[in-house]
Amino acid sequence: MKNLEPRAVWSIFDEITRVPRPSKREGRIVEWLVDFAVAHGLTYRRDAIGNVVILAPATRGMEDRPAVILQNHVDMVCECNSGLGFDFDRDPIETYVTPDGWVRARGTTLGADNGVGMAMALALLIDPAAPHPALEALFTVDEETGLTGAFGLGTDMISGSYLINLDSEDEGEVFIGCAGGVDTLAFFDYVLEPAPEGCRFFEIAVSGLLGGHSGDDIEKGRGNSNRILSRAISGWLSEGLRLATIDGGNVRNAIPREARAVVAVPEECEAEFVAWVERFDADVRAELAHSDSGVSVSLVEASAVDEVIDAQTVRRLMLALLGVPNGPQAMSFAMPGLVETSTNLASVKMVDGQIVVTTSQRSSVESAKWAAAEAVEAVFALAGARVEHSDGYPGWAPDPSSRLLELAEKAYLKLFDRPVKVRAIHAGLECGLFLEKYPHLEMISTGPTILGAHSPDERIEIATVDRAWRLLLEVVRTI
């Protein structure tokens, strides 16, 4: 990978993939950034929460230009295929180049979101041939699981007038707005009871789904493993099925790809249950044939367990998982083709005597975001769960009159002889929080093409990195 062009960008990204950087555990990548600054004679600032700003002075003749902020987050979503045994706190990402022009990771997320943006910013800081005004490369922590770094960013960390966020994933497009978001969590208390006699135990598993980003990919019709698993279980509760364990999805901002449960089925229903799961698997495959064709619902015998979850809690949980809103809820009339409001049934976990269901809501309309969260709360509350909302984060309202946008449009047309697409994105960027603290900022978001973000299918198109890099150079040169 480090031999690809532009070599400076790919070489730095290659180094970044070797540094563990899970969300909320970014200490090693923060220290790596500080070491990078020191090694290249650059000054830096670091705040108490872990955000880092690395500064580069203006090149000759550009000292009177406004300073430019290059912004990225340092953490990555840590998803791997089941059974891989990958340790994101220790193991380097294993990357490879495909014959059709992509860089991928073996069985895990790649971390191109937002590692390639980091590499572009760092490469520009040390490029002796690139003219630029004063640069402030801002690297924030914990973007993926709570925007903690952006929330905690001090008002004295940056001073530039223009901010270029390098965290978008569609080359040839410049983003000038994003959705706000909030998480809604439901907590079901349960009681363990002795497993009934005369039962056979099975593990039912949903796998093979594409998953993906719960904002960018939410309208693509992909299967939700938690929803599919709840369908499989619910239909058999009246036949005496008992639930022993359940585990689905992992992170709040990924469409869940896998889910599994251990169930106890009365012996007299065993043959019928096995045949029904086979039919259900075929039904789900047919439903998702055109959007998520790799789906599988499988059944294997499991070891006997001594205890199962009380039946009343399981019934309330399953009704809630079947009824809670999931997927796109409204499309934007202001920007045709943009999902305006959505919600994602992200994970179902058994934690310390509770079943915790995590969902996330997004909208480019603040009131609609909270309306979606309240709808999710209503379903869980009716099911008897305790419900909590996160603080949420604001969206970023588009500014089509921005001078920075005008410069980006002119630069793209000059470089590639075609207009750049100007869009808003149905995903959370940190820009809305920056604008609250620095209301004078003009901002755009850009980057190379990344597909499958937040899943082990994550990949980055090599040719688009060069185009994104050239666009960045031209924009900062002409500011």
Catalytic positions:
75, 143
Question: Which one-letter DSSP state was computed for residue 213?
Answer: B
What crossing angle do the helices spanning 311-323 and 225-234 adopt, rounded to 10°?
Answer: 130
Tokens found for residue 212: 């993906």
CA distance 60 to 42: 17
Cα angle: 449, vertex 454, 455; to 5 degrees: 100
Q: Do 10 and 95 contact (CB within 8 A), yes or no?
A: no
Smallest CA-to-CA distance from 153 within 136, 135, 172 is with 136
Burial of 477 (C-beta count, 10 Å sphere; 0-12/13-18/19+): middle
Other CB atoms within 10 Å distance of the CB of residue 6: 17
Burial of 90 (C-beta count, 10 Å sphere; 0-12/13-18/19+): exposed
Burial of 333 (C-beta count, 10 Å sphere; 0-12/13-18/19+): exposed
CA distance 23 to 21: 6
Tokens found for residue 327: 């997927």
Distances (CA, A) of 232 to 24, 277, 348, 351: 34, 7, 15, 22
- Report the amino acid identity of residue 96: Y
Q: Do 257 and 229 contact (CB within 8 A), yes or no?
A: no
Question: Which one-letter DSSP state was computed for residue 336?
Answer: T
List all residues 6 or more positions away from 374 whose beta carbon is below 8 Å from its beta carbon. none
CA distance 263 to 281: 17
Burial of 55 (C-beta count, 10 Å sphere; 0-12/13-18/19+): middle
> What length does the chain have?
479
List all residues 6 or more positions away from 39 whose beta carbon is below 8 Å from its beta carbon. none
Tokens found for residue 476: 């900062």
How big is the chain by its Cα radius of gyration, in Å? 24
Residues paired with 26 in a beta bridge: none
CA distance 253 to 14: 25
Tokens found for residue 332: 């934007």
